Amino acid sequence: MKTKEEKQKPLRIIVLGAGLVGGPVAAKLSEDDNFNVTIADIDAKALEKVTSNHKVASLRFDLSDFKRVKKLVASYGLVVSAVPGHLGFMVLRACIESEKNVVDFSFQAENFLELDALAKENDVVAICDMGLAPGTSNILAAYASRMLDKPESVKILVGGLPVRRSWPFEYKAVFSPIDLVEEYTRPARFMVNGNMVVKPALSDVENVEIEGLGTLEAFNSDGLRSLIYTLQVPDMIEKTLRYPGHVLRVQVLRDAGFFSSEPMIAGGVSVRPIDVTAKLLFPILRIDDGEEDLTVMRIIAEGIKDGKKLRVIYDLFDAFDPVTKIHSMARTTGYAAVMAVKLIANGMYTEKGVSAPEYLARDEKCIEFMLNGLRELGINYKLRVEEIQ
């Protein structure tokens, strides 16, 4: 039986990764007196950026070592994994083996649901892919489908964009360049008539009109993730949004071999083209401090309700915060994870094992908590329902 003093003791949280999303997550969590926050990263400058203005402790730490990560998280009550995708599965396993609850938005290539049995054995609550998309997109896709008696299709359109379009790619990213390349090379999985279809990323380009922004191009990407296995809707697809012309430029690089991970000899040295490409692209594509961006997302679920054909739509249009100077994509991604942390910390979500984001849509209270909390943080999802004639 805990004493009153123990119950009021702040929860010790460690955020693994101090990048453009992990940093704002640690900063926002530190504003809650119920949390004692530490952030860990190998990059001293990234750590200093977070700790200089926020009540966050820091640890300079190499997060690529499984045994060391497992030992590191052992003394904390909850872990937030904000590491690059190639480290995600390893870090998630380390947290689970250390019997620590975890919120993960590393966008790992592996299927995190494979660790479900291990998490249950260790009495761990793990919410994975808990960012914007995947993340909130999964939750709202599942929730919108639940509004229908017979859901027939789900379409997710999402993109983070710089306000200023600049040559050559007219795009800037708030996350790792390697993870960005993954988005352009990982085959896209989607559902057609109840069957999974796989196509190359960047395929099936179409134009999409966004009010207040104009025409964007949408292309296939592997954003459905766990929804393929957990949501029983016959037709589902996720597409990424960019400014017109972006896809063709990236396709040229991909098709010319710049994204290949196969070693080759250049100048007498063995190199992987992807490593060189990432090194060159990072300065061009990394969004600068104070550079304005915006985030657009649209979730469309269609089906039958009370004998009528309906379309349920959730829309998000979010912009750079000029007061906090936090990028829109960092806020929309990271603050979803912040709300998931609070769900676990408050005892509102207690499902043992590895949870996909859409599991939260099973509980009306979780949905309300997430959406109300995001609204208070300035992130507003607008719902509309239309009858299809």
Q: What percent of the chain has pLDDT over 70?
A: 97
Average pLDDT over residues 195-212: 94
**Rounded mean pLDDT, 103-113:** 92
**359 pLDDT more than 70:** yes
Q: How far apart are CA 218 and CA 48, in angstroms?
A: 37
What backbone torsions phi and psi does residue 74 show, to the nearest 5 degrees?
-60, -30
Ordered alpha helix ranges (H), 256-381? 273-285, 328-345, 364-376
Burial class of residue 231 in the structure, from the number of CB atoms within 10 Å of its CB (0-12 exposed, 13-18 middle, 19+ buried): buried
How far, in Å, are 111, 117, 206 from residue 349 at the CA level? 22, 18, 38
pLDDT above 80: residue 174:
no
Beta bridge partners of 57: 38
Question: Does the pLDDT of residue 5 top 70, yes or no?
Answer: no
- pLDDT reading at 2 higher than 70: no
Phi, psi for 279 (deg, rounded to 5): -65, -40
Overall average pLDDT of the 334-361 stretch: 97
* Torsion, Cα of 159, 172, 178, 215 (10° steps): 30
* Whether residue 134 has a cis bond before it, omega within 30° of 0: yes
Mean pLDDT confidence for 54-59: 96
Q: Which two tokens stand for residue 372?
A: 């109300």
What amino acid occupies position 43? D
Structure-block tokens of residue 284: 């061009």
Averaged confidence pLDDT in the chain? 93
1 pLDDT more than 50: no
Q: Supply the pLDDT for residue 255.
A: 92
* Calpha distance 71→98 (Å, rounded): 8
**Structural domains in the chain?**
4-128 (3.40.50.720), 136-327+383-387 (3.30.360.10)
Residue tagged 């592997």 (tokens): 222
What's the chain's Rg over C-alpha atoms? 21
pTM for the full predicted model: 0.92
Among 195-199, 237-241, 257-261, the range scoring the smallest mean pLDDT is 257-261
pLDDT band at 369 (very low <50, low <70, confident <90, very high): very high
- Kindly report, residue by residue over 240-271, the tens digit of the pLDDT: 999 999 999 999 999 999 999 899 998 899 99
How much of the chain exceeds pLDDT 90, in percent?
82
Say how far apart CA 159 and CA 174 lie, in whole Å. Answer: 12
CA distance 217 to 307: 34
Burial 329-361 (b: 16+ CB within 10 A, else e): bbbbbbbbbbbbbbbbbeeebebebbbbbbbbb
Task: Report whether pLDDT(348) > 80.
Answer: yes
